[in-house]
Amino acid sequence: MKAVPLVLTGFGHVGRAFFSLLREKREDLERRYGLALEVLAVGRAEGCFYAGGPLDARQISQAGEPWTSGNPAWHAGLKVTDAIDRHGGRGGCLVECTLSDLETGEPGLSYVSAALRAGWHAVVASKGALVVGLPDLRALATGNGVALKYSGATAAALPTLDVGLFSLAGARVEGIQGILNGTTNYILTRMGEGLDYAEALKEAQDKGIAEPDPAHDVEGWDTACKILLITNACLGTDYALKDVHVAGITGLAADLVRSARREGRSVKLLATAAPGRTKGRWTLDVRPSLIDPSHPLAQVNGTEKGITFLTDSMGSVTVTGGRSNPRGAAAAMLKDIINIFRPAF
Ligand code: HSE
């Protein structure tokens, strides 16, 4: 059995779902992969949960909420880096799921940089850290001989990077199209069914798929981050968020969505990466688009997502589905950890 120390940063919906999933899958992970994943610390902005050994959910939360006051495992002011140092040694994995700040990348950027410097792998769901700092983080990971994986930030339970980087190895990617945000796809689907925008958004929030600030979803920024990260990873480019043309769904008329549906077509918030007019430059675009029933993503409805890769030698490859909620995001992070530490097969 290989014991793998983990430090978790962020204890919101995704962090909590990750913790529950670990507990639920413990035996399965041991039996199928020979891995014992042990959370040694959970870092929050004000301090860390840390008890010198694997943490149990009862040491962290009460009634589903973080338990700090009067908790012997809570150390106000203790930094994530201190918890990693106290473990002493390389080879653990940071699980980063703090809220994204798309301008500074913080606090995730500092957590991930520190972990990579300490010789820890990092599995990252925070898009902000990656959008702001990916080239530097990649260099840090390579320099320290550790892995940096981010399925959780690139449509999570829908496999995107694993397909682009592994399944399509050797093929040249000539274009990418995706429905990469569950919230907006859900809203557009429900608007087509007759709800108005506000009702549909409320439903998406109740399902726990919308970001705490849904502006990131409905204005297209969540989708923009995902197409940016997927494109840069699959093409080896270094485009920045400012290179993505972004239009969201906030101003979209409900009539347009409904009349499209009556005609058998649909309106989707489509992300596109395609070769631009200037040789060697790609155009990255997020906008509501009217698509025909023959489009490979036309049947992607509700909270589901989908991605199509156009390639030179493998044709067009589409993947659809994937759960768009905290449990799905947590499962995507768990997948990345397993793929870092599992025995070769
Ligand atoms: N809010 C996102 C979505 C999930 O609706 O797909 C996190 O990226």
Which regions in the chain score pLDDT beneath 70?
212
Residues 141 and 172 occupy one common structural domain: no
Active-site residue, from 127, 226, 305, 335: 226
Residues 336 and 233 in one domain: no
pLDDT of amino acid 277:
84
- Measured in residues, the chain has a length of 345
Using CA atoms, how far residue 290 sits from 155, 270, 297, 298, 305, in Å, is: 22, 9, 11, 10, 16
Same domain, 149 and 165: no
What is the predicted pLDDT for the residue at 66?
87
The reported pLDDT for the residue numbered 81 is 87
> From ligand 1's centre to the CA of 217, what distance in Å?
7
CA of 37 to the centre of ligand 1 (A): 26
**Residue 161 neighbours by CB distance under 10 Å:** 20
Instruction: For residue 252, count other CB atoms closer than 10 A to its CB.
Output: 19
CATH number of residue 39's parent domain: 3.40.50.720
Question: Do residue 51 and residue 143 come from a single domain?
Answer: yes
Residue 212 and residue 305 in one domain: yes
- Which residue ranges have their beta carbon within 6 Å of ligand 1? 181-183, 209-211, 217, 222, 324
- How far CA 256 is from CA of 131, 194, 215, in Å, comes to 33, 11, 21
* Mutation pick for ligand 1 pocket among 127, 183, 305 (CB with most ligand atoms within 8 Å): 183
Domain match, 303 and 331 both:
no
Whether 168 and 153 share a structural domain = no
Largest distance between two CA atoms of the chain: 62
Give me the amino acid identity at 120: W
Atom index in ligand 1 nearest the CA of residue 186 equals: 5
pLDDT of residue 63: 83
Q: For residue 55, what pLDDT is reported?
A: 93
- What pLDDT is attached to residue 186? 95
List, edge to edge, every strand of the sheet that includes 316-321.
244-246, 282-291, 266-275, 173-179, 305-311, 316-321
Structure tokens at 46: 């004000």
Give 228 Cα–ligand 1 centroid separation in angstroms: 15
- Does 177 lie in the same domain as 28? no
CA of 279 to the centre of ligand 1 (A): 33
pLDDT of 207 reads 82
Same domain, yes or no, for 181 and 144?
no
Angle at 273 between CA 269 and CA 187, to 5 degrees: 10
Count of domains in the chain?
2
Note the pLDDT of residue 144: 96
Is residue 209 within 8 Å of residue 322, measured between CB atoms? no
Q: Which ligand 1 atom sits closest to the C-alpha of 180?
A: 6
Distance CA 10, CA 14 (A): 8
pLDDT of residue 58: 86
Regarding whether 64 and 180 lie in a shared domain, the answer is no
User: What gap in Å lies between CA 141 and CA 147, rounded to an integer?
Assistant: 6
- Structural domain span for residue 144: 2-157+327-341
CATH number reported for the structural domain that contains residue 301 in this entry: 3.30.360.10
Nearest atom of ligand 1 to the alpha carbon of 324: 6
- Catalytic: 226? yes
Mean pLDDT, the chain, integer: 94
- Is there a single domain that holds both residue 6 and residue 67? yes
Quote the pLDDT of residue 90. Answer: 82
The verdict on whether omega for the bond into residue 107 sits within 30 degrees of 0, i.e. cis, is yes
Which own/partner contact pairs does 203-212 have at CB distance under 8 Å and 24+ positions apart? 204/303, 207/303, 207/325, 208/13, 208/325, 208/326, 209/182, 209/183, 209/303, 209/324, 209/325, 210/183, 211/183, 212/12, 212/99
Q: Do 196 and 176 share a structural domain? A: yes
